[in-house]
Structure 1
Amino acid sequence: MKKNILFVLLDQFADWEAAFLAPALRGGVTPDLPGRFETLFAAPDGQPVRSIGGMTVQPDRDTTALPDDCAGVILVGGMSWNRPEAQTVAPLVREALGRGLLVGAICNGASFLAANGFLNEIRHTGNTVEMLRAWGGERYTGAARYEERQAVRDGNVVTANGSGTLEFTRECLLALGADTPEAVEASYAFNKQGLYRS
């Protein structure tokens, strides 16, 4: 039985930030091989959410609990991670970290982690250290561990800035062992460079 990866979407989520990761997990890193995971999508109260680009998603579940056989939680960035409904996600992150599951956060998902003190003891990145300080206030004490990189993996936590979609995908796939490192790197290179180099 395949393990589940839970993608958390809030209203005004960033369409593109899970666009490479979810298919690679469910459909396979390379098109000729099956994926090793199932993907589930969650939103507060299980209600539909609308993306920045106008796509409406009916989630599979709400954010009250991790799914059975969960292997990771992905916080998809967007414009609502500083709103009250986002706080329903903090217990999920805490549980996932306590169980040693993957926690991936991109864009304002990483800002949410900073605001809740989850980045203080690990190497990480985000949409600038200044933004993490602004969101986190006194709860964010990890600025010395901030790295100016597209994506950073430290143990079972992957963070990325909003323009690091492919790097985020690569680091999450590697952390999960979704395929061989060579296949993951080849997929990253293809999606980054395309058929022809500019």
Structure 2
Amino acid sequence: MTTIVTILTPGYADWETALLNAGAREYYQIETRFATPGGEPVTSAGGLKVMPNMAVEDIEVDRVDAILVNGGTIWSTEDYPDISSVLRAAHAAGTTVGGICDGVTALARAGLLDSVRHTANGPESLPETGYAGVAHYVESPRAVLDGRIVTAPGTAPVSFMGAVLETLGLRNGDLDFYLGLYAAEHQAA
């Protein structure tokens, strides 16, 4: 069974991967799991409390198809969890690795954006990470997919969902319809 693990942190931005996880689970029957640093319960920016399935440290990268880093303000503080080894191991195993909003900084810290096209909330959100990929930065309001790396600004949860599902081999007319349905409010009237 295809499995997606979403990494959540205290104060995570609940809206950024909600559509992706709901669509993956309900429409595509993908197993969706949630991991937190230390396996501790977390509360979102909106007050949603989550008891995770596992600790980030217990993710078996060769047994999952995608690892996604949900955004949240912790990624731009000194208290961010260092998940670089998990992200590098996942990438080396051929697993899709994605980040949205401030979650992209975790990919930058892991060195995963140094040689691939990517986006973020803005290029200024990445330099303090040891980031060396400025030449590959793409200013985009939508998710950017390069190989099995998916990045998106926090304003792009719909295209982030599409890019992640595309890496899992699910890009077809059904997905395009689903994406159009949820992005309809952003189309010109």
Q: TM-score, normalised by structure 1?
A: 0.87
Cα offsets for 1:38-96 (capped at 9, x unmatched): 01100011111010011111101111132473111010101112444510x21210111
1:96-127 deviation line (CA, Å, top 9, x unaligned): 10101100100111022113322001000001
Give the CA RMSD over aligned residues: 1.7
Distance 1:112 1:90 in 2: 7
Mapping for residues 109-128 of structure 1, pairs under 5 Å: 109-128=103-122
Q: Does 1:140 align with 2:135?
A: no
- Residue by residue over 1:139-198, the C-alpha shift from the partner in whole angstroms, topping out at 9 and shown as x without a partner, is 211101000112100000000001011110111111112x3421111111000116x974
Contact 2:165 2:171 survives alignment (8 Å): no
- Identity percentage over the alignment? 33
2:151 is paired with a residue of what secondary structure? strand
Give structure 1 regions of 4+ aligned residues with deviation exceeding 6 angstroms: none
2:143–2:163 Cα contact (<8 Å) kept: yes
Name the aligned partner's letter for residue 127 of structure 1.
Answer: N
Alignment-derived partner of residue 191 in structure 1: 182
Match of 1:165 in 2: 157
Map of 1:10 onto structure 2: 9
CA contact (8 A) 2:87 2:110 kept: no
SS at match of 2:115: coil
Match of 1:97 among 84, 91, 98: 91
CA distance in structure 2 between the partners assigned to 1:155 and 1:65 by the alignment: 25
State whether residues 65 and 92 of structure 1, in contact with CA within 8 Å, keep that contact through their aligned partners in structure 2: no
Point out where structure 1 has 5 or more consecutive residues left out of the alignment. 29-34
92-101 vs 68-77, greater mean Cα deviation: 68-77
* Correspondence for 1:181: 172
Distance, in Å, in 1 between the alignment partners of 2:188 and 2:119 is 28
Give yes or no for contact 1:111–1:127 (8 Å, CA) kept in 2: no
**Which residue does 1:32 correspond to in 2?**
none
**Tell me, which stretches of 5 or more residues in structure 2 are unaligned?**
none
Counterparts of 1:36 and 1:176, CA distance in 2: 13
Q: In the aligned structure 1, how far is the partner of 2:112 from the partner of 2:79?
A: 18
Q: Secondary structure at the residue paired with 1:5?
A: strand
